[in-house]
Amino acid sequence: MTTATAATKGPDEAAFRADVAKPAFVLGQLERRWKLIEIAWPYALVAVTAKDGRDFVLRFELSNYPQTPPTAAPWDVNGKTTLAVGQWPRGGRVSPVFNPGWRGGTALYLPCDRLAIEGHDNWRVDMPSKIWRPDVGIVHYLEIVHELLTSRGYSAPPPPAS
């Protein structure tokens, strides 16, 4: 994990680092639901584990955290780019959220995502439990993604061609 000195951290980075040190985030790591890979502010990489044991890394953009919701997209850690479309999770309720055709694959289509909530004011009434909650922080987003990746409708992408 990348570190920064206290003197160079802004309030948003300090808030995120405090959230990933809280029991709810740590418990998620211990239960192998997710794991923090790296913080390179204003980005953080977090792997979320699917029901088949595969980890999907999300690259979060966290500027003005937690007042402004984060936005995240599936990430290829080795290639340092958005995950190839054929490697995105799919199936059931997963496909509309992990939709590489929406915004060019730069964000997940979730009410708790900064980019997705734009223009979807109805979500505040239709899906209030999925709207970003600064008081809960990053765990809220991760719990929603983990629930999708462990749902009955989840399908793993095919293995990469060799």
The set of catalytic residues is 112
Closest CA to 100 of 83, 81, 117: 83
Length of the chain in residues, anyone?
162
Chain-centroid distance of CA 82 in Å reads 13
CA dist 52 and 13 (Å) reads: 32
Return the H-helix or E-strand segment holding 26.
helix 23-30
Closest CA to 137 of 32, 38, 55, 17: 17
CA dist 79 and 35 (Å) reads: 19
CA dist 14 and 31 (Å) reads: 25
Return the H-helix or E-strand segment holding 149.
helix 138-149
